[in-house]
Every structure is written in structure tokens, then in C-alpha cells.
Amino acid sequence: MALFDAIYLSDEMRGIFSAEATAQAWLDVEAALARAQAEIGMIPASAAAAITRAARTSDLDLAKLDADTRALGWPILPLVHQLSDRCGDDAGGYVHWGATTQDIMDTGLVLQLRAAWTVIDRDLGAIQEILIDLAQRHRSTLMAGRTHGQHALPLTFGFKAAVWLDEMTRHRHRMAESRSRVLTLQFGGAVGTLASLGDDGLAVRAALARELGLSEPVISWHVSRDALAEAYGLAAAAATTAEKIAQEIWLLMKTEIGELAEPAIPGRGGSSTMPQKRNPVTCELVATCAAAARRDAAASVESMRHDHERGMGPAHQEWYLTPTAIPRAGTALSLIKSVLADLIVDADRMRANLDITQGLLLAEAVMMELAQRTGRQKAHVLMKDVCHRAIAENRPLYDVMAETTAVTDVLTPDALGACLDPANYLGTADAMIDRAIAAARRPIPHKAHQNNMEA
């Protein structure tokens, strides 16, 4: 429903995958094909120039294209008819020379993917910078680390942000490494052999790849959809990391916790009935978009099951996926970028929440200190008993330990106090934060394929 597109699709993604942009991508391929064929002398240069001039959606009757597509079940034939008519009799006869529908649609999709990859890479880079800043500013901001939804050990919010950072860094590297496979020309003719172009087929294909700034395929990939499945999968994986971050913010925004919050935007997240509410609606939108991207990624893997030299059904499923799979993933990343950029971090609440279990969070720290004298197993049994008593009596862990001879015979009051300081039990968190930041700032490999994105 178009009404919901306003919140589930970013303006950039909507623009890249709109009906007009899709038709223009097909026209761009048709025009580039004509220029490539003129380059090797297959068709007149004047015809290629006329086709290029006419290959604009502003010159198309989009309503007629829509109606004809509904009638025929395929969009390229009616597109070719309109383009040929606008080129006139001489040039019009050279439109779509030696190509097949899937050549145009697949390569048009690759052009759209290139534009989307550019936006996604930019947003991933921006998210990295935001997370680097959060990791650095909050490397000493103490908070409770939680496992299975419960307090486990102390860590810092900077460490949590660095974990997010490293995951985003890996996504960016994976997407960069995939460009040579994903951004690949499709041009093979009816069954992939380029028989319609005789001995000039490979020369035309090479010239067309140069015209469009795409990788040239080793062999036609009409029924080899693994690269598209890879693209959808990589985008969905990055979107799911965005969702994981959104879910963490959503959980830590709960009234009882109150450690993080979405940016405070007037009117955003309000309730239609409860004046006090400020709901984490942007995080919820991130989750919805990421879930849709995962479903589409799974469907794209199903579309790999093409039969013979052209399948029945998988291609149509890909057409259905095209305007949703990558756009939803890109939108999830765009939304989480906006949340992180102005994320509200309540460091005081984080510190206060460390104390709600009255020292139990540091039980492992005490155990490890005791273990140096008693051995790990004995220390574990002893501290388990101490913790159970502290919980049952609702008393601070320090008080119970101070009454336990097996503890006080080993540790002085000052040593116990040091064990219960969360700042003293962060391990190598600082060093790992630095490593995550350094990895994020390292140059991305496979830059040789950058031209594929920017052509």
C-alpha cells in the first residue's frame, strides 16, 4: 500500500526502484546495446544515436506500457515497440538487436543494484563513523552486560557500540568483495549462446559491459541466479544487524531500564490516547524492514531453481522481489543511521542499574580472586552458596561475604571492595574497542571494483 511506503521505504530507495526508474534502467541498457553494436560496426552510428536520444521515460507512454505488460505478461516487448516507434523506421529497426527480454531486465536490475549498493555503502560508512564516536565517547561508561536477559558482568556502552561497529565493518567488506559478481552484465540472447550475433557476440558483449561500467560475465547467467541471491542475502544480513541494534535500543528503552532512547523528535512515537508515551517507533520500523528483507532473501534463493535455459516461475518471482528486497534492507540501514546519530545515552541510569542486584554482578570477580588460593571449583561452590544467601535474605553481597569466614580468611575487606568495583572487572574491553575502531578505519579491499558502483 502506497501509504505505508512513506514509512517503509526511504526516498532514495523508492527513487531507485520506482516504476519509472525501472523502465529507465531498461532503456539505458537498450541504448547502451545500440552504442556497443555501433562501436564494432554492427549497426549504423546514426541509429545508435537516435536510439540513445529516444531512450527516456519522459518519451514513453507509461500507462500504455503498464496496460500492454498486463496483457502480454512481459514488459520488454511493449517497451521495445514504443522505443522503436519513437526512433522512426530507419533507427527503429535496430532496437533490441540480438537481445532477449531477460538480457534487458537482468542488466537493468544490475544497474539498479549498483545505485542501491552506492547508497547502502554510504550509509554503512556513516554508521561506522557514528559507532566509532559512540565507542570512543563511552569507552568508560559502565553498564550491565546481560546474558539470557539477566545481569551477567559489567561492561561499557563503548564496548557494546564497538561490537556493533565490527559487525557493520564486516558487512561493508562483504558487500565490497561481492561487487565483481553482483554488478555483472547479462547479455546472451535467447538461450545464452549469442547465436543471433554470429561471430561478433563476444565483441558486442565486451563493448556493452564497457558502456555500462559493469563486469563482463564468463558465461551467460540467465539460469544462474546465485549472484542475485548473494546480493539479497548480503543486504538482508546488514539489515538484520540494523534490527539487532534497534532491538537492543528498544529493550534498553523500557521504562524499568531507561538506559537508551531514540532521538526525541516532536510528535514522533506519540500515542493516540496516552499523552506520556514516546514509543520506539523508528526501531520498530527497522525491525519490520529487516524482516521483510530476510523473507525476500529466502525467496531469492528459491529463485535459483531455474529449469533448462529459462525457468517457469522463478523469473516472475524475482520481478516481484525487485522493488522490495534491496529497498527494504537499505531503508533499515538508513533508519538505524538516523537513530544512532542522535541516540540518547543515560550514563547515570546505566551506572545505577549496575547496583540493583546489590553486588551480585561481581560474584565472578570475587570467585576468580578466591580461586587463586582455593582453586576454581571450591571457589565456585563457595560463592554460589554466598550468592544464594544474599538473594534469599535480600542483602548486599559484600555484607554476606563479610560474615563468611571462608571468604574473609582469604580476602581482606579492601580486596573485597576492589572486587566489587565494576570498573576493575572489564578485562581487555578497552583494547578490543581500539581494535574494532582500527578495523573500521582500514581501507576496504577490492576497490578495483569501485568503478562498477560509480559508472
3-state helix, strand, coil in the chain (%, to 5): 70, 5, 25
Cα–Cα distance measured from residue 11 to residue 5, given in angstroms and rounded to the nearest whole number: 9
Q: Kind and range of the H or E element at 147?
A: strand 142-147
The candidate with the shortest Cα–Cα distance to 265, out of 160, 196, 335, is 335
Residue written as cell 541510569? Answer: 349
Catalytic residue among 58, 148, 272, 308: 148
Cα–Cα distance measured from residue 230 to residue 179, given in angstroms and rounded to the nearest whole number: 10
Cα–Cα distance measured from residue 227 to residue 211, given in angstroms and rounded to the nearest whole number: 21
What residues have CB less than 8 Å from 371, skipping those under 6 apart? 378, 379, 380
Active site residue 271: yes
Catalytic residue among 46, 140, 196, 271: 271
Cα–Cα distance measured from residue 216 to residue 107, given in angstroms and rounded to the nearest whole number: 11
C-alpha cell at 208: 556493452
The dihedral of CA 319, 323, 326, 328: what is its sign? Answer: negative
| Contact predicate 403/349, CB 8 Å | no
C-alpha cell at 129: 563513523
C-alpha cell at 211: 558502456
Phi-psi region of 293 (alpha: psi -120 to 50; beta: other; left: phi over 0): alpha
> What stretches of 274-411 adopt beta strand conformation (E)?
344-345
Any alpha helices (H) in 253-313, and if so which ranges?
281-302
Return the axis-axis angle of helices 157-182 and 101-137, rounded to nearest 10°: 160
C-alpha cell at 267: 510528535
| Contact predicate 52/35, CB 8 Å | yes
Active site residue 388: no
> What stretches of 189-313 adopt beta strand conformation (E)?
260-261
Cα–Cα distance measured from residue 455 to residue 453, given in angstroms and rounded to the nearest whole number: 6
Positions annotated as catalytic residues are 148, 271
